[in-house]
Structure 1
Amino acid sequence: MEWLDVALPIIKSIVLAIVVLLVGLFVVKLITNVVRNRIEKSKLDSTLKPFLVSVTSAILKILLILSVIKILGVDITSFVAIIAAAGFAIGLAFQGSLANFAGGILLLTLRPFRVDDYIEGAGYSGTVGAIHILYSELITPDNKVIYIPNGQLSNAGIVNYSVKDTRRLDMNFGTKYEADTDKVLNTLHDIVEKHSLTLQDPEPFVRITDHGESAVVYTIRVWVNAEDYWTVNFDILEEVKKRFAEEEISFPYPQMDVQVNQ
């Protein structure tokens, strides 16, 4: 039958294309896993590793799609020509993805942060888990994963808390006006100097910084190793409460908010 003679090659091509697609996806996954394992064991920068894996996976999938198209009898040259002719429209449709890809290249080239750095950017904060082709992963302190488009992240101001080895801890405390100024200053100095994790160079700063409506404001500025920042922060908060009670130094009521730089 004539229609069968015409349909049979088409059916064979479709079936072969489906088989190649399914097998190809399995092979792509297998190769990607092998590449990932090799890259993980290599001495490459940890920031580059997830990006290279993503690029490898994307390239293999593109090659697979082109192979399936060829099996279906579509002239790849014509297909590429059609894509080129529609390039402007495709560019408009995927301008966000292209911007994210370009942003990923910028992040990997300029290196404002690396994997495992703690950063703030694009309105979010967390530890950098990975930088992929189109997005980056931030892991929050409570173990949530935030996926931020690279274009958005590369165009926003980024605060990197992990670049420097030391950080300055700023804390404000308020007391009633009746409190003895020298006693308060000496108590705060003693708390700071006796803490084993505070650095003495630069020298700790403890002074009155404001006369508020209902309180005198004392400010502590002390340098610590970056990894000790939050430990020292909570230790000083607890110790100030204990020592003020022992020295009978009164907090204003209601207690003013303690301001801490993140």
Structure 2
Amino acid sequence: VTRPFSVGDFIESSSVSGTVLSIQILYTALNTADNKRVMVPNNHLATSHIINYSIEPYRRVDKIYSVAYGTDVQKVKEILMNIVVSNEKILEDRGVMLGVSKHNESSVDFDLKVWVKREDYFEVSYGLNEAVIEVFEEKGIEIPYPHREIRIRSEEKMQ
């Protein structure tokens, strides 16, 4: 009743994350994502924040996509929604959030939030990134990078 996780759950504490293999009297055994065995003292887990990624059946994928200033906002929103609709693993009935979230120095950021089944999280997350790159290139949408303009004045002109 008082345990925030069970064997088989994927958890994250302040210093480590992994799948719980066993919960013993003094230690909890975790397997990390890169297959390392970590023994975490239970007193550490008892006093740390713990994120349990396995307890809920759904997760939200949060993405930010940047475009160059001057890009048609409605066109970008339409492209992103078409990508969402074409991905059958995105649970549209749980809601989709999409909008301009920030004006940066070199870009306008679009915030996209979609819901997926827990087991589809990484596939959808990576798939969205790949699809956005492909469609943005196809539609001529520029993904900007920071620009710096440097002007050098010679001493002769300054005198």
Relative to the length of structure 1, the TM-score reads: 0.55
Measured after TM superposition, the shift of residue 213 of structure 1 is 1.1
Which position in structure 2 is the counterpart of 1:199? 91
| Greater strand fraction, Structure 1 or Structure 2 | 2
Q: Are the equivalent residues in 2 in contact too, given 1:205–1:222 (CA < 8 A)?
A: yes
Which position in structure 2 is the counterpart of 1:253? 145
What secondary structure sits across from 2:8 in the alignment? coil
Q: Are the equivalent residues in 1 in contact too, given 2:105–2:146 (CA < 8 A)?
A: no
Q: Which of residues 136, 140, 151 is equivalent to 1:244?
A: 136
Which position in structure 1 is the counterpart of 2:155? none
Quote the Cα distance in structure 2 between the aligned partners of 1:157 and 1:228. Answer: 25
Q: Which of residues 119, 123, 144 is equivalent to 2:11?
A: 119
Give structure 1 stretches of 5+ with no counterpart.
1-108, 256-262
Taking CA–CA contacts closer than 8 Å with sequence separation of 6 or more, which of the two structures ends up with the larger relative contact order? 2
Which position in structure 1 is the counterpart of 2:111? 219
Q: Does 1:129 align with 2:25?
A: no
AA matched with 1:238: E
What secondary structure sits across from 2:93 in the alignment? coil
Residues 153-232 of structure 1: pairs in structure 2 closer than 5 A? 153-232=45-124
Quote the Cα distance in structure 2 between the aligned partners of 1:143 and 1:187. Answer: 38
Give structure 2 stretches of 5+ with no counterpart.
148-159
Q: State the 4+ residue runs in structure 1 displaced beyond 6 angstroms.
A: none
Measured after TM superposition, the shift of residue 254 of structure 1 is 4.4
| Greater helix fraction, Structure 1 or Structure 2 | 1
Measured after TM superposition, the shift of residue 122 of structure 1 is 3.5
Q: Are the equivalent residues in 2 in contact too, given 1:122–1:152 (CA < 8 A)?
A: no
Quote the Cα distance in structure 2 between the aligned partners of 1:154 and 1:122. Answer: 11
Quote the Cα distance in structure 2 between the aligned partners of 1:133 and 1:218. Answer: 47
AA matched with 1:124: V
Which position in structure 2 is the counterpart of 1:151? 43
AA matched with 1:176: A
AA matched with 2:104: G
